[in-house]
Amino acid sequence: MDLGLQGKVALVLAASKGIGRACAEALAAEGAAIALGSRNQETLEQTAREIRERYGTPVLVSRTDVTRAEDLEAIVNATLREYGRLDVVVNNAGGPPVGSFAQFDDAQWQAAFELTLLSTVRLIRLTIPHLKQSGRGRIINIVSTSVKQPIEGLLLSNAIRPGVIGLAKSLSSELAPDNITINNVCPGRILTDRLRKGPGMQQKLDQGVSEQDALKDLARGIPMGRLGQPEELASLVAYLSSSQAGYITGTTIQVDGGLVRSLY
C-alpha cells in the first residue's frame, strides 16, 4: 500500500534510538523527509547517516531536549527552513522514573509533567500553524499502556500520561476542521534499551540469570508470548501518518501483543 508520504515532511523526537528511531525509519521508508531531534548530537548524526544511506531520503538533525522550549522552537524552525513544510509530528521522549508515591517530591512530579505532558503541549502549539498549511496534518503521541491500565511501580507515568490522552481527545475536535488528526500509540513491552537496561532486567542479570531468560521473563503475561519489536509499533505510526488514515482521530491504540486486558 502506498501511504502517500512521498514529498511529506515528518518531525520525530527522541529519535536517535528505540521507538523514536523506528518511527523515523518507517516514515523514511515511505519516502517522507525527516527531521530528527534528540539530546545526544553524536548518536543523532550517526542515526541520520544510517537512515539517509538506507532509504535515500533527506534527514535533518537538531539537538533537542524535549523539556526545553527553546530546543523545540529551534527544531521546528530548522525543519521549516530546510523543507518549507511540515506534515507529521511524532511526540516521543523517555519515560518518567520508576517508583512509588512515597519516593517522589514536588521537583520530581514537576519534572515528569514537563517531560511527558508539557513537552507535548509545546510541540503541538508550535506546529499547529504548519500542520494547518499542510492540509493533512498528523500528530502522533507515543505514550504507554499505563493510560489504559496502571503499571505497578510506574506511578508518575500512571498519573501524568493520561493527561496526554485528554489533551489529544480535546484537540481531535478542535483540529478536525483543519483536517489535522491526532492519535496516541501505547507501547506494551517493546524490546528497546528501556527494557534491556531497565531496573527489572538489571536485577535479574545481577542474580546470574542469562539475558535470554531474563527477556523471556519480561514476556510473561503477554498473550502473544513474546516482546514486541520497535518496527511493529512504528508500522502503526506510519499508517496513522498516511493519507488513508485521514478519518482516524482522537484514538488511543495499544501495540502490546494483547497485554492490556481492559475493554477500552
Query: Which residues here bind ligand NAD, judged by CB under 6 A?
Result: 14, 16-20, 38-39, 64-67, 92-95, 115, 142, 144, 187, 189-190, 192-195
Nearer to ligand NAD, 6 or 197 (CB): 197
Q: Residue 83 phi/psi, 5° resolution?
A: -110, -20
Q: How far apart are CB 44 and ligand NAD at their closest, in Å? A: 9
Nearer of residues 144 and 172 to ligand NAD, judged by Cβ = 144
Q: Between 122 and 138, whose beta carbon lies closer to ligand NAD?
A: 122
Residue 119: CB minimum distance to ligand NAD, A: 7
Residue closer to ligand NAD by CB (options 32, 201) is 201
> Which residue lies nearer to ligand NAD by CB, 119 or 249?
119
What is the rounded CA–CA span in Å between residue 234 and residue 171? Answer: 23
- Distance (Å) of CA 165 to CA 107, 183, 256: 23, 8, 17
Shortest Cβ 154–ligand NAD spacing (Å): 9
From residue 231, give the alpha-carbon distance in Å to each of 23, 51, 130, 150, 235. Answer: 7, 14, 28, 25, 6
Cα separation, 218 vs 41, in Å, equals: 31
Residue number, 134 or 165, with CB nearest to ligand NAD:
165
Whole-number Å distance between alpha carbons of 47 and 35: 11
Min CB(1)–ligand NAD separation in Å: 26
Give the CA count within 13 Å in the CB-facing half-sphere of 160.
Answer: 23
C-alpha grid cell, residue 153: 511501580
Nearer to ligand NAD, 98 or 205 (CB): 98
Least Å from the CB of residue 110 to ligand NAD:
14
Least separation in angstroms between residue 205's CB and ligand NAD is 17
What minimum distance in Å lies between the beta carbon of 184 and ligand NAD? 11
